[in-house]
Structure 1
Amino acid sequence: MNSPQRQLSTLVSASERTALVYAGESWSYAELAAAADELARAMTAADLRGERVALALPNCPELVLCYLACFASGAVATPFNTRYAPPELEQALRRARPRWLVVHSGKLADLALIDPAVLDDTRVLVVGDSAGGHEEFGAVRAPSGSRDPEASDPGAPAVMFFTSGSTGRPKGVVHSHRSALGILTSTSEALGDVTADDVTQVFEPQVHVSGFIATMTTLLAGGTVALYDGFDPARYVEALQKHRPTLVCTHIDVLAQVLREPGMQRSWFSSLRGVYTGGDTVPAALQREFMAASGLPIGVGWGMTEAIWLTISRDPQLDRDGCIGVPVTGLEVRTDPETGELLVRGPMVMDHYWEDETLTAATLTDGWLHTGDLGEQDADGVWWFTGRIKDIIVRRTSKISPGEVESALDEHPGVAAAAVIGVPDAEEGQVPVAFVVPRDDAVLTIEDLLSFLRNRIAAYKIPARLYFRAALPLTTSGKINRRELSEG
């Protein structure tokens, strides 16, 4: 077995078992497999093996079908962040050059604002209420007599996730069929060995690696995914009581918000055998609060789009923040003796960065991935996260490059220079804070700049605070010295 889809096909014999629950409807494994097979045959007929299929979709059954069909046909699933502003969507399309774009009708207004030439060689398929003059995704069928998909080489590309880069240019993280299966295998182990008896509640976006691993790991084990699109604390609590999940793998801010819901009861969590987070380390104070409320510890893991799941800690550490646990099976971890950077090697590590040999060579050395994170191992073999080498800002687990926000600010005609830093925040982990030097003749207001940004970058990238400065501190080489920037 060399791909998640091929392993999933072995579960079709349990035809009546529920695979997916969404918006009050259920999909059995037989129904899911049949629909995915039809779509895979259509992709095969379109000669999409090795080609990108862009997925600009919210959490929905169609997104799951697209992943499975891509795995089976050899097409490269290429999910796009649904929060992309039109310029970001256009940039992603230019980078990926997909043969197909499967997009939700709610994004058609954004699609209309980009350069139409970007889509000249792309077939657009629309999921939702209106196709807006494009083809309807639900009408796609394999031509009569079309051939069956052939198994892909384990080293062939299977999925590509775009993630923020330190220069502001999104990185295309390419996982092969082998490493995609490694991701799901290590995630299952980290979650306590997912089985067919598990029900996993998924609110996290499936176009991100977080929602992808929670969904696909559960399906690979024959379990049930209770799927929702968009987090709301009240809906999350309602889902806990309705579906009685056995597993949740979510962000720490989600758990913190659930604890603050009015009328919080221990019974909300009574069906769960495990609660996990992998987006950040868990503060000891939140761990104590959650354990008191639910009777369960929060299992903590470590990973990134380039390699996940890497470590796991199921026993809460209440005397020190930053515990990320011990490596999963097959993973090697070591520190760079000069920098203290954590390096990892294992079956879940990405294959390469899309069309970027220089960055790939700098990030992967003899199979070792440079994570950009700092850490140390204690006498018991437990690893601890101590910081980040890179400047990436992690806001509620969404990664933001200072460069991409600075580039957007620089487009304003009244801005002479701009710098963005990440600042710790009790609610969101980190938030971007911007410092702007106006041009001499410009009359700028904070609201003007924020309004300008809202049309250019996703909402989560908008700075939480913005300050005007007469000048920005520079290093001896003339670069912006972010270390000297502060809100004081």
Structure 2
Amino acid sequence: MSTEAGPVPLSGLLAAHAPDAQCLIFGDRRWTYSGLAAATDALAAEMAPVSGERVAFMLPNCPEAVTVYLACFRSGAVAAPFNTRYAPAEVEAALRRARPRWLIVHESLLGKLEEVQQEVLTGVRVLVAGSGEVPVTDRGRAPLAGRGDGLEPLAPLCASGARPTAPRPGPDRPALLFFTSGSTGPPKGVLHSQRSASAMLSSTSEAMGDVGSRDVTQVCDPLAHVSGFIETMTTLAAGGTVVLLDGFELDSFVTGLLTHRPTLICTHLDVLAQLVHAPGARGGWFSSLRGVYAGGDTFPAALQRDFRDLTGLAVGVGWGMTEAIWLTVDRTPGPDREGCVGVPVGGAEVRTDVTGELLVRGPMLMTGYWEDPRLTEDSFTGGWFRTGDLGTQDPDGAWWFEGRIKDLIVRRTSKITPGEVEAAINGHPDVAASAVVAAPDADEGQVPVAFVVPSPGRELTPEGLMAYLRERIAAYKLPARIHFLDRLPLTASGKIDHSDLRQLL
């Protein structure tokens, strides 16, 4: 998706593609590049007065969400997606932090706005997306419990035929405000510029084997998070086709595979595990794919073997975060190669400091944390971003993820990284996945506790697993307790939710 002059400008993402080519499939709806460009231009023209301001939106995966992103990029507004799973109090908190001029919400989520304080909606233009008609008053807007100026339908703004007249925003203009999933604390606001967001797409394209106009990418990850965003926008930037699903549901995902014959999938390990372990799973489901990719936490070796056995494909494993993505990729992992995240892509640079923390810099790096100069300053050292992840580089130049600094377990005076314990557990042939967290202990300070997902149809006991581990890791690294789960909890961005696991303790 890059040109000789550099990444495709974010504000011109749809330019230079065949107008009649199909760009988006959502259920029974089909969009061409010319149709999507017309809707984008019309909405961008309406956004002209809020250029430089935040446009918040709380939308499920749907064509309207794609259109809102693109219109923000063209107009110079800052796209601020909200998690559709937010409780009303979280919606209110996000509105207070982002202070948007617009809020675009799906009709199914309007009930959440009824429970927020009136003041956060004062002066906010609220538009409603969905299949139903928004009831209107004689002023052309529906009331919202006396709050703000009422509701307006979004659809007419996208169908007006208007075109933006303002110049395209420059590369250093703010473009994206993502709120992180908050698995380790309150969500942080991550701000990307037009330049860094465009670089994210270029890096993603390189990581996924150079996405092109003939590619069809099936997307089920939320567009409100960086994963769904890069999967969708990278494909559109390349002139390809996006098959958009609103979340993962096994039957609809398999139907999409068989009907639309995608060439690329990039999703979370939980989705791939459900697919490969589904009753009646067949390799033919995946026969159209040229690449399958996953990110998040360490990809379990057992799942890698199961996927390869079923499909003949290796799952490419990448590393990145909302603040900087895509950073590295391992496209051809070995069946027992757990923890390797490969080599840098997209101009990313990676190094470690004396503690083993991974530091990165590159064009895809955020501009900073939203209205938090102290956190921004603390997160950088000499222009390098401190990822909070631990890693090492092997003699071949590949990087290996070894856990997170905040997850280090100090047992008496010995330091344990959860990743080394998880790797040992995942080596057991009856284990599908695992996660290890620290638990407080009166005698030892902290002890590792393991949560384990057995492989389908396999018998596994704590005693048998402990016997296996005693042969493979030092005694001080052995889990103090082992709990079996049907599946590991994940954050909205597809990473193992360690906070949820600690609450289970």
* TM-superposed deviation, 1:462: 9.1
CA–CA separation in structure 1 for the residues paired with 2:76 and 2:449: 39
* TM-superposed deviation, 1:208: 0.4
* TM-superposed deviation, 1:61: 0.4
With normalisation by structure 1, the TM-score equals 0.79
- Which residue does the alignment assign to 1:235? 252
Distance 1:135 1:462, change over 3 A: farther
Identify the match of residue 113 of structure 1 among 115, 123, 143.
115
Distance 1:280 1:145, change over 3 A: closer
Q: Does 1:23 align with 2:4?
A: no
SS, match of residue 373 in structure 1: strand
2:41–2:163 Cα contact (<8 Å) kept: no
* TM-superposed deviation, 1:431: 6.8
Distance 1:112 1:249, change over 3 A: same
* TM-superposed deviation, 1:266: 1.1
Q: Does 1:382 align with 2:382?
A: no
CA–CA separation in structure 1 for the residues paired with 2:55 and 2:116: 18
Identify the match of residue 61 of structure 2 among 59, 73, 78.
59
Structure 2 residue runs of 5 or longer lacking an equivalent are: 1-6, 136-141, 143-150, 409-417, 419-437, 439-447, 454-485, 492-496
- Which residue does the alignment assign to 1:478? none
- Which residue does the alignment assign to 2:11? 5
- Which residue does the alignment assign to 1:37? 41
- Which residue does the alignment assign to 2:374? 358
CA–CA separation in structure 2 for the residues paired with 1:305 and 1:464: 22
- CA RMSD between the two structures: 2.6
Worse overlay, 361-370 or 1-10:
1-10
Distance 1:462 1:111, change over 3 A: farther
CA–CA separation in structure 2 for the residues paired with 1:137 and 1:39: 9
> Which digits, 9 at most, give the CA deviation of each residue in 1:233-276, with x for residues without a partner?
12111110011000000111101101122221111010000000
Identify the match of residue 166 of structure 2 among 126, 132, 149.
149
CA–CA separation in structure 2 for the residues paired with 1:343 and 1:461: 22
1:2–1:153 Cα contact (<8 Å) kept: no
> Which digits, 9 at most, give the CA deviation of each residue in 1:100-153, with x for residues without a partner?
000001111111011121100210000112536210011226999885131212
* TM-superposed deviation, 1:91: 0.3
1:431–1:464 Cα contact (<8 Å) kept: no
Residue type of the alignment partner of 1:10: A
Structure 1 residues 309-458: aligned runs within 5 Å: 309-337=326-354, 339-390=355-406, 424-426=451-453, 428-429=487-488
- Which residue does the alignment assign to 1:457? none
Distance 1:278 1:332, change over 3 A: same
> Which digits, 9 at most, give the CA deviation of each residue in 1:433-460, with x for residues without a partner?
xxxxxxxxxxxxxxxxxxxxxxxxxxx8
* TM-superposed deviation, 1:170: 1.7
2:352–2:359 Cα contact (<8 Å) kept: yes
Residue type of the alignment partner of 1:207: A
Residue type of the alignment partner of 1:387: G
Distance 1:141 1:243, change over 3 A: closer
CA–CA separation in structure 2 for the residues paired with 1:21 and 1:147: 26
> Which digits, 9 at most, give the CA deviation of each residue in 1:70-95, with x for residues without a partner?
00000000000000011111000000
- Which residue does the alignment assign to 1:182? 199
- Which residue does the alignment assign to 2:228? 211
Distance 1:311 1:131, change over 3 A: same
SS, match of residue 406 in structure 2: coil
> Which digits, 9 at most, give the CA deviation of each residue in 1:349-382, with x for residues without a partner?
1011000000000112333111011000011111
- Which residue does the alignment assign to 1:252? 269
Identify the match of residue 73 of structure 2 among 71, 74, 84.
71
Distance 1:196 1:320, change over 3 A: closer
* TM-superposed deviation, 1:425: 4.7
Distance 1:264 1:144, change over 3 A: closer
Residue type of the alignment partner of 1:29: Y
> Which digits, 9 at most, give the CA deviation of each residue in 1:15-67, with x for residues without a partner?
110000001111000000011011111101xx211100001000000000000
1:57–1:63 Cα contact (<8 Å) kept: yes
SS, match of residue 272 in structure 1: coil
SS, match of residue 210 in structure 1: helix
1:248–1:274 Cα contact (<8 Å) kept: yes
Residue type of the alignment partner of 2:44: A
1:423–1:431 Cα contact (<8 Å) kept: no
* TM-superposed deviation, 1:2: 6.4
- Which residue does the alignment assign to 1:262? 279
> Which digits, 9 at most, give the CA deviation of each residue in 1:206-243, with x for residues without a partner?
01001000000000000000001021112111110011
With normalisation by structure 2, the TM-score equals 0.77
Distance 1:462 1:271, change over 3 A: same
CA–CA separation in structure 2 for the residues paired with 1:160 and 1:153: 17
- Which residue does the alignment assign to 1:50? 52
1:105–1:130 Cα contact (<8 Å) kept: no
Structure 1 residue runs of 5 or longer lacking an equivalent are: 394-401, 403-420, 433-459, 468-486
* TM-superposed deviation, 1:164: 4.2
CA–CA separation in structure 2 for the residues paired with 1:131 and 1:189: 43
1:3–1:180 Cα contact (<8 Å) kept: no
* TM-superposed deviation, 1:464: 6.3
CA–CA separation in structure 1 for the residues paired with 2:217 and 2:163: 36
- Which residue does the alignment assign to 2:425? none
CA–CA separation in structure 2 for the residues paired with 1:70 and 1:120: 21
Identity of aligned residues (%): 56
